[in-house]
Amino acid sequence: MDLRNKTLCASGFHAPERGKIEILDEVLIDIGADGTIAAMHRPSDPNYRTIREAREESGELVTLPVGSYLLPGFVDLHVHAPQYPQLGSALDVPLEVWLQKYTFPLEARYRDLAFAKRSYGLLVDDMLANGTTTALYFATVHQDATRSLADICLEKGQRALIGKVAMDNADECPDYYRDATPDDAIEGTRALIDYINTHPENGEKRVLPVITPRFVPSCTDATLEGLGALARECGCHVQTHCSESDWAHGYVLSRYGVTDTEALDRFGLLGRRTVLAHANFLTDHDMDKVREREAAVAHCPLSNVYFANAVFPLKAALDKGVHVGLGTDISGGPSASMLENCRGAILMSRALESGVDPNRDADARASYGPAQIDFRDAFYIATAGGGVALDLPIGQFTPGYLFDAIVIDTKAPKGSVRLFDEFDSGEQILQKIINTASKPNIATAWVGGTNLRLP
Ligand SMILES: O=c1[nH]c(=O)c2nc[nH]c2[nH]1
């Protein structure tokens, strides 16, 4: 049911700040005509009962059933939309080989608009069914296919940030799949920005355009310069890959004599609305610069295992105050589920802290230092952290924020959460949701208070 101009009575969880899980117990959430949260009323508020009764009488009250828990919708901070057909495959080679052998040939197919529409429609349906209410998408170089991704997100109701990929460096990109000139890359980006900003169905700005230099190796200096100037001109979001693998990190060092972060900064591509995917090999100085610029990192724990041979030091970044959100990195990561990626983030943080070589004794094995995070941090980066990273009012239940939310039905027979009244209460329920929930547990999703049709 749509919730605009209604009040939802719900129990659930959100993490408005890192380290702070708020347990919502029969909280009343007033949702305004514009889809934002107008007010919250907690049972401890003196006028709670009166408000609840009044809303009930006026027929504005919607109540979640027992066993259903409200969470903020997931914010997936790094998705390659065209790579969905190869999800779960092509994971056997290093990044620079993977791009040429599997990924560029697949992405090149999106010159076929009918194929693009079919593939993107399936992806967006599956993302919504996994509880992802906002996604930051890389598309392809193609104008028509990228426009169709925007159309599909608007039609299905997903909040989305979408970039036409800019890649014009003939040394690193194949002839059959690249922007022919810097002008194509820059003006193609501008054309997509105009398309999205003037889309007749996009009055609420549910879809936003993103300046998307694929990564430094794919782009000429002229393109990076032009996109930096465009970012200054339009204030749009920027997304790119940064220091993902030894190869990618080393490539930028040898081309410019400075790190990826430094190079992006010099091109004017590192700002408050920049999202850097991966960022595994940031130096301390890079990390300081990312924080100083208030840019964000999209942590992609599953794909880092396959393509980075390294673990992003999530705890160190969060402790330092760097903005971090979570990304599935479809299809470098083999799962479209943010819950599975939460688990990946927790597991990889533990492996980083403890080390993994059983031939070393425990002290020698644990060479990195404190790195472990838990379900609280994972939940934070999957929701509110993503909102902060994008500089958008999403990911938490706070007046003034957009009501983007999902319901976890812990009683779903085909689901994988099993709660026991004797044992499970409070934060433990959230812990079980993060660690065990799956698609059948995701019962409902709203974006801006509008109820979405889950496939
Ligand atoms: O994980 C990744 N996926 C990609 O498509 C890509 N392109 C550059 N670098 C990349 N890394």
What pLDDT does residue 453 have?
85
Q: How big is the CA angle at 74 (ends 139 and 327), to the nearest 5 degrees? A: 50
CA 166 distance to own-chain centroid: 20
For CA atoms 368, 329, 159, 177, the dihedral sign is: positive
Q: How far is CA 410 from CA 67, 125, 414, in A?
A: 6, 22, 10
Task: Report all structural domains of the chain as residue ranges with CATH numbers, in order of start.
Answer: 6-72+396-452 (2.30.40.10), 74-390 (3.20.20.140)
Is 129 within 8 Å of 442 (Cβ atoms)?
yes
Q: Whose CA is nearest to atom 2 of ligand 1?
A: 332
Q: How far apart are CA 19 and CA 325, in angstroms?
A: 14
Q: Would you say the CB of residue 103 lies under 6 angstroms from ligand 1?
A: yes
Q: Would you say the CB of residue 329 lies under 6 angstroms from ligand 1?
A: yes
Over its length of 455 residues, how does the chain's per-residue pLDDT go in tens digits? 999 999 999 999 999 999 899 999 999 999 999 999 999 999 999 999 999 999 999 999 999 999 999 999 999 999 999 999 999 999 999 999 999 999 999 999 999 999 999 999 999 999 999 999 999 999 999 999 999 999 999 999 999 999 999 999 999 999 999 999 999 999 999 999 999 999 999 999 999 999 999 999 999 999 999 999 999 999 999 999 999 999 999 999 999 999 999 999 999 999 999 999 999 999 999 999 999 999 999 999 999 999 998 999 999 999 999 999 999 999 999 999 999 999 999 999 999 999 999 999 998 999 899 999 999 999 999 999 999 999 999 999 999 999 999 999 999 999 999 999 999 999 999 999 999 999 999 999 999 999 998 88
What pLDDT does residue 212 have?
99
Q: Would you say the CB of residue 182 lies under 6 angstroms from ligand 1?
A: no
Q: Please give the DSSP secondary-structure letter assigned to residue 395.
A: S
Q: Would you say the CB of residue 332 lies under 6 angstroms from ligand 1?
A: yes
| Residue 91 DSSP SS3 | coil
Is 177 within 8 Å of 169 (Cβ atoms)?
no
Question: pLDDT, tens digit, for every residue of 323-355?
Answer: 999 999 999 999 999 999 999 999 999 999 999
Angle between helix axes 182-197 and 143-156 (nearest 10 degrees) is 20
- Tokens for 7? 């009040």
- Tokens for 226? 């032009």
- Residue 359: Cβ within 10 Å count: 6
What pLDDT does residue 310 have?
92
How far away, in angstroms, is 427 Cα from ligand 1 center?
36
Q: Would you say the CB of residue 415 lies under 6 angstroms from ligand 1?
A: no
Q: Would you say the CB of residue 307 lies under 6 angstroms from ligand 1?
A: yes
Q: Would you say the CB of residue 244 lies under 6 angstroms from ligand 1?
A: yes
Q: How far is CA 235 from CA 134, 210, 358, 396, 428, in A?
A: 20, 10, 50, 24, 41
**Ligand 1 atom, smallest distance to 138 CA:** 5
Q: Please give the DSSP secondary-structure letter assigned to residue 173.
A: S
Q: How far apart are CA 49 and CA 46, in angstroms?
A: 8
Residue 359's identity, in one-letter code, is N
Q: For 380-393, b where at least 16 C-beta lie within 10 A, e where not — what string?
A: bbbbbbbbbbbebe
**Ligand 1 atom, smallest distance to 218 CA:** 8
Within 8 A by CB and 6+ apart from 51, the residues are: 7, 28, 41, 45
Q: Would you say the CB of residue 14 lies under 6 angstroms from ligand 1?
A: no
Residues in the chain: 455
Q: How far apart are CA 91 and CA 215, in angstroms?
A: 20
CA 30 distance to own-chain centroid: 26
Q: Whose CA is nearest to atom 1 of ligand 1?
A: 332
| Residue 157 DSSP SS3 | coil
Q: Would you say the CB of residue 119 lies under 6 angstroms from ligand 1?
A: no
In DSSP terms, 30 is beta-bridged to 7, 39
How far away, in angstroms, is 11 Cα from ligand 1 center?
39
Q: Whose CA is nearest to atom 10 of ligand 1?
A: 241
Is 16 within 8 Å of 380 (Cβ atoms)?
no
Q: Would you say the CB of residue 241 lies under 6 angstroms from ligand 1?
A: yes
| ipTM metric | 0.97
H-helix or E-strand containing 120?
Answer: helix 113-129
